Structure 1
């Protein structure tokens, strides 16, 4: 365990050192609030960065802009001292974070605080995916991350400290790792050792490949290489354009297009999905902000569950909705059925609709939403999954499930959108069922912003 502990101490030392260097660079360049916001809005390596001036007082957040905050409780002397410590936010043990702070050389009343959370530490250090470890605990001045844990050799932990920073790590080896180490030294169990080693190599290869793709995705996001295409949504009765669904795409020069099924799933599991969602909103605004939109349009954007769990990102979503409204575009938030299973998710819908944001339930019929939930919430669109649209031609018009979904939408007084329409037969059948809107290759494939704006002009 000594080598493993040394490996993680080296990783964490480097992480903390890099953030201190970044803090000092920002202070040396006299970064302003707007610059801080632009530079770190899409940065997936941190939770938040604060610019602090105690003599004003003044606090600027990279995520939320200028804040009205009392600094006296944090800096009673007005001095911003460099260092690191663990802090719990709003008395919620699930929000414990590592804060890395630096004061400005020559002016200790100015400083930068960088806040990183447990999710980022997990992603950066990689210990949750390390099959050798059962757990890893970070300790600073008696406080621990995760909270409500402790360093104790009696629990089988190997405790190691940094020579550079005042923290301790407690590493508990996984039972499988202990067993594997024992097997390696038992010559009589050579065959079993071979099997275990092969399994480890396979898992290691899989992890390396997955982590490599995650690193590439982070770089692509930072370089703003990801782009949007827009699939038209048409009115069933007239085939006129009513709006678009924004779809994220990623093209790697050496590998070609990477399927969203691969990198979106990876982003969700790694915690990068919130940064990607903010990037999608930003790119969508950049695409449409200078386009002439005469007739009102709807722009649908898929929003993951984690994005709606943070008040600051909800506030950001409202701001974008207000911006789009100024250019005659109505923002539509597409959510999945699983987001409705939590009462908190249902409460957010009411907050968004009060902010004049429309809500669409995406891929309806393939999840696990109870009908009682649909009865107790308000939303604007019900999107019918492609698998039910495909049944129109397969079942020769006998589509009881599709018909039931359509009838449910009518009874709930919401608009219906059919996804994946691929033939005239399907389009006509949906029109007869009074499904108001359709999207799919039969009408148009996803297109870039130039083609989308041209199509809008032609339909205007």
Structure 2
């Protein structure tokens, strides 16, 4: 078998598409996350500046209330945390300072504005752009031409709010009416950035992401993307492998029969009266050379679907006969083998079944054909079984009540055993609809005068119940799991 068909995916372009998709998605998401982070930080800085300006505004209102009493302004605002200096200007003449008291200085206010509005300006302390800070211009409503200039403390504003050394920001710019901080800087960025505006005051903040932050975010996103991609590819690979494996299993199945990869295990069927083993059921197993043990509920439906179930049945009959003949310690027992209804539609198969029945009979072993219910038993099959029974073949209806066998089939088929499926055995001690069906099946077997075999017996409670209700034979883990023939003990 060419194991490359299973172990090496041929869908590399598909996997590459998956990787590229997640890579692009991760970079896009990382940039989106970076912008979200910048937006959050921008709004946070705007909120902090707004808070400082609101505090300045409150202290300015205090000055407005005492606009004609410079001493009170000086006393109240000399040690303000927010205001470096508050100056009252009357018609371009400074008349009062919160630090210097009453003054008389020529004061030309370059920023002309509506006297009825608060507005912000950048203020260069002592004319130095390196000492740039903000100032709040406030109208004094009781006299035209009088304004109050509240110069915000630069160390508090710049040193506290604009310190970006410990952040993911490489550049922070503030714009007020076309002027910028830092001075002589252009309020723009060619890199990943975010601009946030104050809803109340006339300023904007531009925040540019630090390159190391962007690279780290993208690297993390790519790593996460790689993990997600690997998991996705693994899931896709497993799914594709299972799809391929089903096609490969069909070929492997044929090879497996040829290379005798299939082997038999036997589950003892005990007599309910004395618990002695008088019957065995042959069960096929597949030890795949690369996949290991493959469950029967995987390969048997595949064999049925692909038309190989008859070949598998031949294999089981052949090997069971060979093993029992070599053992020479099994006699006066019966051997149950599952026979699919399709096996009965071919004269060649019927001849084989008759042959094996005779060969087992020479070993003093009674062959029991268990008719599975996964496929419908047609009238021709019923007639064939009845003829085979006359030659000594014993017949059991397997898993009764779960498949296609109808009451009309039971009436027409001359059979020896009625097997109760495990799903009904499991209902013992539990009040369900199936528990009622169990009693009905037992009663039906009694009325038909056939022996009843209960499958899936796992507890003493189940054994006692079935035995007390007249079930003659049982099999299940309570007695033994399926085992090699060499491990079977008759007592």
- For the superposition of Structure 1 and Structure 2, which TM-score range results when normalised by the shorter chain? 0.5 to 0.7
Name the structure 2 match of 1:228.
264
CA distance in 2, matches of 1:397, 1:373: 23
Task: Show CA shifts across 1:2-56 (max 9, x none).
Answer: xxxxxxxxxxxxxxxxxxxxxxxxxxxxxxxxxxxxxxxxxxxxxxxxxxxxxxx
Q: Take 1:318 and 1:438, find their aligned partners in 2: how far apart are those partners?
A: 27
Match of 2:348 among 308, 312, 315: 312
Partner of 1:274, secondary structure, is: helix
Query: In structure 1, what is the Cα distance between the partners aligned to 2:295 and 2:339?
Result: 18
Deviations 1:185-231 (A, max 9, x none): xxxxxxxxxxxxxxxx9998665321111111111111111000000
Aligned to 1:382: 418
Q: SS at the partner of 1:391? A: coil
Q: Give distance in 1, aligned partners of 2:242 and 2:319.
A: 32
Which one has the largest radius of gyration?
A: 2
Deviation, structure 1 residue 435: 0.2
Assess if the C-alpha contact under 8 Å between 1:340 and 1:346 holds in 2. Answer: no
Aligned length: 256
Aligned pair partner of 2:442 in 391, 395, 406: 406
Equivalent of residue 269 in structure 1, options 301, 305, 323: 305
Give the gaps of 5 or more residues in structure 1.
Answer: 1-200
CA–CA distance in 1 between the matches of 2:336 and 2:277?
Answer: 13
Alignment CA distance shift 1:396-1:304 (3 Å): closer
In structure 1, how many angstroms separate the alpha carbons of the residues matched to 2:298 and 2:434?
A: 35
- Any unmatched runs of 5+ in structure 2? 1-236
Structure-to-structure mapping, 1:17-166, within 5 angstroms: none
- The residue matched to 1:366 in structure 2 has which SS? coil
**Contact map agreement 2:455 2:476 (CA 8 A) in 1:** yes
Cα 1:298/1:206, change in 2 over 3 Å: same
Q: Does 2:285 align with 1:246?
A: no
1:451 aligned to 2:482? no
Moved over 6 A (4+): 201-205
- Return the alpha-carbon distance in structure 1 between the equivalents of residues 292 and 485 of structure 2: 20
In structure 1, which of residues 369, 384, 392 is the aligned counterpart of residue 428 of structure 2? 392
Pair 1:432–1:268, CA change in 2 (3 A)? same
**Separation of aligned partners in 1, 2:288 and 2:486:** 22
How do residues 239-388 of structure 1 correspond to structure 2 at under 5 angstroms? 239-293=275-329, 295-337=331-373, 341-388=377-424
Residues 282-307 of structure 1: CA distance to partner in whole angstroms, max 9, x if unpaired? 10011001223465101000011221
CA distance in 2, matches of 1:281, 1:245: 12
Q: Summarize the Cα distance change of 1:305–1:377 in structure 2 as closer, same or farther, 3 Å threshold.
A: closer
**Helix, strand or coil: the match of 2:349?**
helix
Q: Displacement, 1:373?
A: 2.3
| Alpha-carbon contact 1:244-1:298 (below 8 Å) kept | yes
